Amino acid sequence: MTQKSLLSLALLVSPLTSVAAIQISDNFSISGFGSTSITKSDNSTPLFVHREITDETCYDCDTTFGLQADLSIIEDVNASVQVVKRPQDHWSDVELEWAYLNYEVNQFSFRGGRLRIPLFLISEYYYIGQAYPWARPPQEVYDSILGFTSYEGISASWLWDVNDEAVVRITPYYGFGNDNKVKFSGARFNFKTDYQAGLSAELSGFNYRVHFGYLNSKYLMSPSSSSEKETLNIYTLGGEYSMDDWLFMSEVQTDDLQTNWYVSAAYSIDKFTPYLVYGESHHRRKSNSVTAGIRYDLTHKISLNAEWQGIYMDREDYNAGNEGQFVTAPIHYNEDKDVQVYTVMINFIF
């Protein structure tokens, strides 16, 4: 494999925070990341699951802060722990996002513990705003599973060199039963899963990446009018491609209830990166959105985003009580069906 391919692969499969890690000893390091924003919309209906942006200026709707510790125990065995204050969390109630042991042998690696669900292109660094161009990931896709990002179980990965410039990583995983709580549509719901089983497959080259994800789960939601367990099958397909100063990204997510997708283009001009995103949600949450923003890299560890987003809904869907990207249907608030969102955000890693 060429040196460029090795560098590309390392950037794709390693935690971004390792670039800025504080080396405590030869085998132990600590790193961190965070984001915070000033944001508001022109609609009083709370917007986005877990963020609930309204027409009142909000200083903590996007606030995220994480710490990660990595320990090399013996050769080929390491441990990693990541604790995150997510946008929906209070500072006194942070979440253990992952905590696992990893064992590597030849082209295989095995993990056990609390792990990140590898469904999307940026699942591994979803909370690290410094790792992607936008102020927040496109919500059509990344809100589609109501913010669930981790599971408790095991995974195995196989790394295969297709040629000197392409690598395939295949990762089957299995999660044991778990309880997940989420606030949605003005109420709190509990999702009790029997299991979570899935597969992640990724093809990576020097300037491109293609990712396929699948998740199967059986769950019981409460409160609910039904006591029957539901089976959920989620499929995702995404890709990113860089060409000179351009970065193109697109993903589609589909399951039994919905189909969502987005396309994105960003162009780097020195320290500035203007970007555009278009997204759509169908079936369960019907809407489309246009996002325009610019990112400014103060340093390679600190960046600023200024972003506008317009989210739109058909009148027929609005009258039928569809929620779109809102937490609850805007017709219940006697509010407009469309919304404009304005955001200034700062991201950092250390």
Q: Whole-structure pTM over 0.95, yes or no?
A: no
Asked, as a colleague might, if the bond just before 223 is cis with ω within 30 of 0, I would say yes
d(CA 71, CA 83): 15
pLDDT string in tens for the chain (350-residue length):
333 333 334 444 444 555 567 889 989 999 999 999 999 999 999 999 899 999 999 999 999 999 999 999 999 999 999 999 999 899 998 999 999 999 999 999 999 999 999 999 999 999 999 999 999 999 999 988 877 889 999 999 999 999 988 999 999 999 998 777 776 655 777 778 889 999 999 999 999 999 999 999 988 877 766 678 888 899 999 999 999 999 999 999 999 899 999 999 999 999 999 999 999 999 989 999 999 999 999 999 999 999 999 999 999 999 999 999 999 999 999 999 999 999 999 999 99
The rounded distance, in Å, linking the Cα atoms of 64 and 237 is: 27
In which region does residue 244 sit, left (phi positive, over 0), alpha (psi from -120 to 50) or beta (all else)? left
pLDDT of res. 184: 62
Closest residue by Cα to residue 66 from 51, 49, 80, 52: 80
The position carrying tokens 């109630």 is 93
Task: Pinpoint the alpha helices (H) of the chain.
Answer: 3-13, 139-142, 315-319
Residue 88 backbone zone (phi > 0: left; psi -120 to 50: alpha; other: beta)? alpha
Sketch the domain layout of the chain as residue ranges.
Answer: 25-349
Q: How far is CA 234 from CA 13, 117, 123, 301, in A?
A: 23, 12, 14, 34
Q: Report d(CA 39, CA 32) in Å as an integer.
A: 23
User: So what's the pLDDT on residue 193?
Assistant: 85
Identify the CATH assignment for 25-349 out of 3.30.1490.20, 2.40.160.10, 1.10.1050.10, 3.40.50.300: 2.40.160.10
